[in-house]
Chains A and B, each alone.
Chain A
Amino acid sequence: EPEVTQTPSHQVTQMGQEVILRCVPISNHLYFYWYRQILGQKVEFLVSFYNNEISEKSEIFDDQFSVERPDGSNFTLKIRSTKLEDSAMYFCASSEEGRKFFGPGTRLTVL
């Protein structure tokens, strides 16, 4: 079965630093997403991306966040200046009609 991959599996960073989380969606998918899950809390939608632009974003997705599909295969989430509260598991997903596929997640720890 095709799968979404994410790197790194775990990222540790200092508060205020920039981080880039990387995702490789399934090759023929057209819609891409980022979700996050703070430890012990719900999985929350961050942003959806289609046709090289953001199609929807949540209120969590403020100016510190950005997404990009730089080369037609990768899909990245950048956090410009990390805060302690950004510590979470970040899931990338891509979708075809009828089904979303999630990646294994990147655990981000902000110290």
Chain B
Amino acid sequence: AQSVTQPDIHITVSEGASLELRCNYSYGATPYLFWYVQSPGQGLQLLLKYFSGDTLVQGIKGFEAEFKRSQSSFNLRKPSVHWSDAAEYFCAVAPMEYGNKLVFGAGTILRVKS
């Protein structure tokens, strides 16, 4: 069965510092991979996705993620965090994006200190 692990429940970074959120997945083949962000009281917004090709994908709001097959990882990064990035971040996998369910990780809450 597919599963997603986000080992960090909370992360606190200073504004302007770099950020890396970890995500590991378990799946027989290479799945489709996603990062979503959820701000308080908001829905889930897609930051970026990986289907195939270049293993470094760029997303919205200055985020990027790198797919590493050998490590079954899809870590999310941002070079300089802004206070508005404080939110909860979810990694998710799907065997096929169009029409198949997403399996979510438990989420990582990002706090940004000024």
Q: Which residues of A contact B (CB under 8 A)?
A: 4, 31, 33, 35, 41-45, 48, 50, 55-56, 58, 91, 93, 95-105
Contact = CB atoms under 8 A, between A and B. Distances in A.
19 contacts: A31-B99, A33-B101, A35-B102, A35-B104, A43-B92, A45-B103, A48-B100, A50-B99, A95-B98, A97-B98, A98-B49, A98-B51, A98-B97, A99-B46, A99-B97, A100-B97, A102-B36, A103-B43, A105-B43
Q: How large is the interface on B (under 10, 10 to 19, 20 to 34, 35 or more residues)?
A: 20 to 34
A78 B42 CA distance: 22
A41 B90 CA distance: 11
Interface string B34-64: 0010000111111001010000000000000
Interface of B is mostly: loop
A44 B104 contact: yes
Per DSSP, chain A at the interface is strand
A56 B101 contact: yes
A43 B104 contact: yes
For A43, A95, A97, which residue has the most chain B Cβ atoms within 10 angstroms?
A43
Contacts of B104: 35, 42-44
Interface in B4-46: 36, 41-46
Nearest to B98: A97
Given A91-B44, A104-B42, 18 more contacts: A35-B102, A43-B90, A43-B102, A45-B101, A48-B101, A50-B99, A55-B99, A56-B101, A58-B101, A95-B98, A98-B49, A98-B51, A99-B46, A99-B49, A99-B97, A100-B97, A102-B36, A105-B43
Contacts of B36: 102
A43 B44 contact: yes
Given A91-B44, A98-B51, A31 B105 contact: no
A60 B41 CA distance: 24
Contacts of B100: 48, 56
B99 A95 contact: yes
Interface in B58-99: 90, 92, 97-99
A45 B102 CA distance: 7
